[in-house]
Structure 1
């Protein structure tokens, strides 16, 4: 059995899995399958982020479930054992960096509404188990509803080294994007200048130097008449770059209402950071981390 298979098997043994049979709201469903627990206990499990739906964290008690969805509940003992690392898995950790695989639905950093249920806050708690003075620093971000590989620094020197030479240090940033429509072209790229509106909406300008230059390469992996699965490589890393460029191509990312999506069959954003390869900020070692394509992306785009 491979290391990945052992990890998957261990992860599965730490959770309880249930298949939704009929439309219902999440809290009543949980109360039914966990009938031995009190209502407050179930609500607590939900609020701590121990519930995922088709591999996406969900904390809203009134979330509407649909037949065929899989609800997974992380057991309390497993949650404690993992030091409350909910919604992510540590792929690599050393004295300078932590690399994680983040699930869709988990914030990278705090917002005004949510301070604690974030990747950054949880990792801060994680490193402080070894020393109260330890800290974690944000190097880059993934949107809340984007899953995949993400890196944090464990000291300011590593943070500055990575951020000041990001384009030189990062050798590969590959995403998979589930988009609406049938993409006919097997591969291509899009180049534009990105600007941000007063309402914080990013948009493309074809006028040279009118904004930040962004280049996105794509290759079709599979698809049907309704959906296409693309491998997307970033030559530049601008805010919402993939989402804007997919809209520009006429194939918005599934579930991305902000940038033109009309459907959401996967009930999440159809974007996953699959590969991150970079030069270690201290040792110079070439590191590469790759995660699996979400199964629901593969199923919808067959």
Structure 2
């Protein structure tokens, strides 16, 4: 029989360690890393010195060997990790969360020793982003000290954390304006337009990034050349401008404009509803024409929220 029997699911079963690890691996869907965006963040000491602190949080760590399974580790409160200073030469270290299971590596005794611990690998390459082959662990941060340094500052710390299973949520909304609409006459200023390109959207409590793609097809241009900028707004945030620059004369024509932006979601936006819309700045100094929505204009919002370490 080669099946590893599942523990804790039948009366009288003994919880075999390997079976538990394989269950963790399955429940984590094969991912490894921190559990939530703010977990296990590496920061300088409150008073910078020869060490760093690792914040609260949890992680899933996959074993380096086939069918070893995965381990969970939780840190409650800040943990200090000492980082030796440098002498006449600079040095780069890698801080990892390591698991040393004596069934596979090392000689730690789980009855007396911590099999999971924060470990500093000194003198690694300056571009190191992963643990060495054969080591069960996940990288948390790279620490680069100049020569003759004894205190770690935030500028020396490079965050290497990754989420074990980052969440995403994508929503698509399509709009057909009900009537023709010209931008307000206050040219040279950003104004909300088109009015139908508007949406109060719920932001997931876990979201740290928002990718917004707005496509406006069939916008009408006539009456001469048109120069206008359009930009995405999310709450009080706004994206970079997209430009309509058209000088084809007075003949009526149609155009497609795409706005594409990536926003960092502020902490106070998470779990709230925020207004998502479009602003337009048409400048008639560069052309006397008109930009308008009309019959056949379509507007599509494609919004994806995602989760990443913070």
Task: Flag whether TM exceeds 0.5 (same fold).
Answer: no
TM-score, with structure 2 as normaliser: 0.23
Which of the two has greater helix per residue?
1
Larger radius of gyration between Structure 1 and Structure 2? 2
Higher RCO by CA contacts (8 Å cutoff, separation 6 or greater) = 2
Structure 1 length normalisation: TM-score? Answer: 0.23
Q: Which has the higher strand share?
A: 2
